[in-house]
């Protein structure tokens, strides 16, 4: 089962809503806490997912999504290097999930736009389930974030 173009807008809206709820949860739970790393992490993910839905950097939909994933990974690593973000379970999982999503998306782009394969096959289902599953897991990791250093 793969996500058709008609369902794509609803799935994208659900992901954006999920990252918004994760951001609001992190914001509310960080009140009176010194460590705001989870708020910054969830805000970056929210901005990335919302902007990828409305701002096309490239003409190809799948290349655009892969580019946003790679830009988000780069932003996460820069913010972690600048000590704005602290390494946490959510931070590591989000890096892993964004990398996996980018690879799955690049393979999908290759299948559709390089090989010109328009016949549904098993990879389309793997892509649809995999990318959306990782989106939900990233949202959950933001909500249930635990700091690996245990300080804050």
pTM score, whole prediction? 0.89
Using one digit for the tens of pLDDT, what is the confidence trace for 68-94?
999 999 999 999 999 999 999 999 999
pLDDT of residue 96 exceeding 90, the answer is: yes
pLDDT at 152: 46
Mean pLDDT score across all residues of the chain: 91
**Which three-class secondary structure string do you get for the chain?**
CCCCHHHHHHHHHHHHHHHHHHHHHHHHHCCCCCCCHHHHHHHHHHHHHHHHHHCCCCCCHHHHHHHHHHHHHHHHHHHHHCCCCCCEHHHHHHHHHHHHHHHHHHHHHHHHHHCCCCCCCHHHHHHHHHHHHHHHHHHHHHHCCCECCCCC
Query: Tens digits of per-residue pLDDT, 108-130?
Result: 999 999 999 999 899 999 999 99
């Amino acid at each position: 089962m793969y996500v058709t173009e008609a369902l794509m807008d609803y799935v994208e809206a659900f992901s954006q809503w999920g990252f918004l709820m994760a951001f609001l949860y992190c914001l509310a739970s960080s009140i009176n806490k010194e460590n705001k790393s989870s708020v910054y992490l969830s805000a970056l993910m929210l901005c990335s997912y919302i902007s990828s839905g409305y701002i096309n950097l490239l003409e190809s939909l799948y290349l655009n999504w892969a580019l946003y994933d790679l830009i988000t990974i780069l932003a996460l690593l820069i913010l972690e290097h600048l000590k704005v973000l602290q390494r946490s379970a959510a931070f590591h999982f989000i890096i892993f999930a964004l990398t996996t999503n980018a690879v799955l998306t690049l393979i999908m782009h290759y299948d559709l736009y390089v090989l010109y394969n328009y016949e549904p096959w098993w990879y389309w289902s793997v892509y649809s389930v995999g990318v959306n599953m990782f989106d939900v897991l990233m949202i959950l990791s933001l909500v249930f974030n635990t700091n690996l250093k245990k300080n804050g």
